[in-house]
Amino acid sequence: MDIKIGSIVARRSYQFDLLFRVIEMKVGQNGKTLAILCGQDVRLIADAPMDDLVIVNKQEIDSRAQKEHDRIEQSLFLLKQDYQLSREKQEYYTTSAYSFQDQLFHIPGRVLHIDGDPLYLKKCISLYEQVGVPVYGEYCKETEMPNKIEALLDQYRPDILVITGHDAYSKHKGSISDLSAYRHSKHFVQAVRNARKKVPHLDQLVIFAGACQSHFESIIRAGANFASSPSRVNIHALDPVYIVSKISFTPFVERVNVWDVLRNTLTREKGLGGIETRGVLRSGMPFNRHESK
């Protein structure tokens, strides 16, 4: 079977560890055809010679998809559990321990999710909606993010900003500390800087930025609250959702413990990190039952 754009493949040289979809083909410097690959479940973009690729059959795709589904469901369960505990705690403090819980309403933080991959964006939006996070989604190429970020912030005025897509570190381009050795880290860094020009305070706009193998330290220094990837590992396509959902559901009177955020993600501390950040959920009363119908 011929490999073409859209084919699901794995790499022999990496022992078929990850599934990719082919998004482009081009001729390399040696005259051989290279496939540009996008991770099926991780936010990684890579290239590989055609003879290193094998088309993955449907049975294997379905088997891996089921395992991935089970991991996602477990993380989703923990996230919902955390939210319920946080909500009960907030209701207790908001009502000074009196029994007014039925009269409270909750306003989670609004998310603007800017993604360099339209398919991943669609998956993320679906997950946000499952957990009840108000979200706006925008597809934007990583190279265009720095120039578009300020206008998007003006348009949506979010509490939480996600800047993500694809990235990769290439050893032949430079050392691990060299920002130019990364495919899109410099674009994430500049997008964060431009966002911070609009909203400088770390608790007025919470920012997550980065993708697979991104230059974590530069993104944090640019002004992000959370970023990837401290150990330069691949991150899961849905990891940004778990990060910002936890923040969206944490009351503004509480600080978000970094480990409490990371422990429900699929990549954890090797792929994600951040700094102490205030939550953005607000509770109020009375709850208007007529408006809810």
For the whole model, what pTM was predicted?
Answer: 0.83
Contact indicator for 262, 268 with CB cutoff of 8 Å: yes
Q: Which residues of 38-77 are buried (b: 16+ CB within 10 A; e: fewer)?
A: bbbbbbbbbebeeeebeebeeeeeeebeeebeeebeebbe
In the chain, which ranges are E strands?
8-11, 20-27, 33-39, 45-49, 53-55, 105-107, 111-115, 135-139, 160-164, 206-209, 226-227, 255-256, 273-274, 277-278, 282-284
Arithmetic mean of pLDDT, 130-149? 95
pLDDT of residue 90: 57
Residue with the larger pLDDT of the pair 285 and 47: 47
- Summarised one tens digit per residue, pLDDT across range 210-267 is 999 999 999 999 999 999 999 999 888 888 898 899 899 888 888 988 888 888 787 8
Give the pLDDT confidence score for residue 184 in this predicted structure. Answer: 96
Task: Find the distance separating the first CA and the last CA of the chain, reported in whole Å.
Answer: 54
Parallel, antiparallel, or unpaired: how do β-strands 206-209 and 226-227 relate?
parallel
Residue 82: how many other CB atoms lie within 10 Å: 18
- Report in angstroms the alpha-carbon separations of 128 from 79, 117, 175, 200: 11, 16, 36, 26
Q: Is the pLDDT of residue 83 over 90?
A: no
Backbone angles phi, psi at 241, to 5 degrees: -65, -45
Tokens representing residue 29 in the block: 């410097």
**Which of 25-29, 86-90, 169-173 has the weakest average pLDDT?**
86-90
Q: What is the pLDDT of residue 292?
A: 53
The DSSP call for residue 132 is T
pLDDT in tens, 197-213: 999 999 999 999 999 99
**Count of helix runs (H) and strand runs (E) in the chain:** 8, 15
